[in-house]
Amino acid sequence: MATTVKHPDRLAEQINIILAQPDSWHQGSWHLPCGTKHCIAGHGQIASGKSMDDDTCRADAREWYGLTARDAVWLFRHERTLPEIHGFASAALAGEAYFDTNGFDSYGFDRNGFSQKGFNRKGYGRNGYNRAGYRRSGYHRNGCSPDVAEIFRYDVNGYDINGYDLDGYDCNGLDSNGDGLPLL
């Protein structure tokens, strides 16, 4: 399946800026009040030549990157990590879609964050319980508390005990050696 991103080079350029200047990225806000940190959409809005405007950021960045509405919603979400954004851009640069024809990414999660078995990246099903029947608060369906070490290999944010995701990167895109994601 081919990518739907019209300008993957623009997305790659902004990711490379973020990789070179990690302090310029903060996925939790279009633009921080200081004006020096922006999410991937905020970076795109600025690169497009538009003024920083939280009200039009999503639309401006979507148009400049050439994203579908569906891809923009997924890519611009506040919980999106740098490795996920990097993976999306890498696929687009290769002319490939990040999501397969069934709507799953390379990790096996759909756009809503659930695996084919119905569990999200945090290990919880649509009903709020993990495979062993425990809620994030640590209580089982029948009310007993779990031995957390047996249940979770990855924490509620998808990182292991050392702070690395499935690909071996922390939330800032650094591996255990301190090396960052490769430039696109």
Residues 137 and 73 in one domain: no
Q: How many CB atoms lie within 10 A of CB 16?
A: 16
Residues 88 and 120 in one domain: no
Residues 89 and 26 in one domain: yes
Q: Is residue 86 part of a domain?
A: yes
Q: Is residue 44 part of a domain?
A: yes
Up-side HSE of residue 154: CA atoms within 13 Å toward CB?
Answer: 18
Give how many domains the chain has, as a whole number: 2
Report the alpha-carbon distance of residue 105 to residue 128 in Å, rounded.
22
Domain that holds residue 51: 8-93
Residues 81 and 121 in one domain: no
pLDDT band at 161 (very low <50, low <70, confident <90, very high): low
pLDDT in tens, 107-116: 788 888 888 8
Residues 66 and 135 in one domain: no
Domain boundary pick from 58, 93, 128? 93
Helix (H, G, I), strand (E, B) or coil at 140: strand
- Tell me which of 138 and 84 has the higher pLDDT: 84
Q: Is residue 134 part of a domain?
A: yes
pLDDT band at 42 (very low <50, low <70, confident <90, very high): very high
Q: Is residue 143 part of a domain?
A: yes
- The confidence score (pLDDT) of residue 154 equals 53
- The confidence score (pLDDT) of residue 150 equals 40
Q: Is residue 106 part of a domain?
A: no
pLDDT in tens, 85-123: 999 999 999 999 888 888 888 778 888 888 888 888 778
pLDDT band at 59 (very low <50, low <70, confident <90, very high): very high
pLDDT in tens, 134-157: 776 665 565 544 454 444 455 555
Residues 14 and 86 in one domain: yes
Q: 127: Cβ–Cβ under 8 A, 6 or more apart, which residues?
A: none
Residues 121 and 89 in one domain: no
Residues 14 and 88 in one domain: yes
What's the mean pLDDT in 176-183? 86
Name 70's bridge partners: none
Residues 18 and 89 in one domain: yes
Residues 88 and 42 in one domain: yes
Residues 130 and 72 in one domain: no
Q: Is residue 177 part of a domain?
A: no
Residues 35 and 84 in one domain: yes
Q: Is residue 52 part of a domain?
A: yes
Cα torsion through 8, 5, 42, 45, rounded to 10: 90
Q: Is residue 182 part of a domain?
A: no
- Tell me which of 54 and 180 has the higher pLDDT: 54
Place of tokens 């790659």: 12
Question: How high does pLDDT run on average in the chain?
Answer: 84
- The confidence score (pLDDT) of residue 152 equals 44
Q: How many CB atoms lie within 10 A of CB 18?
A: 25
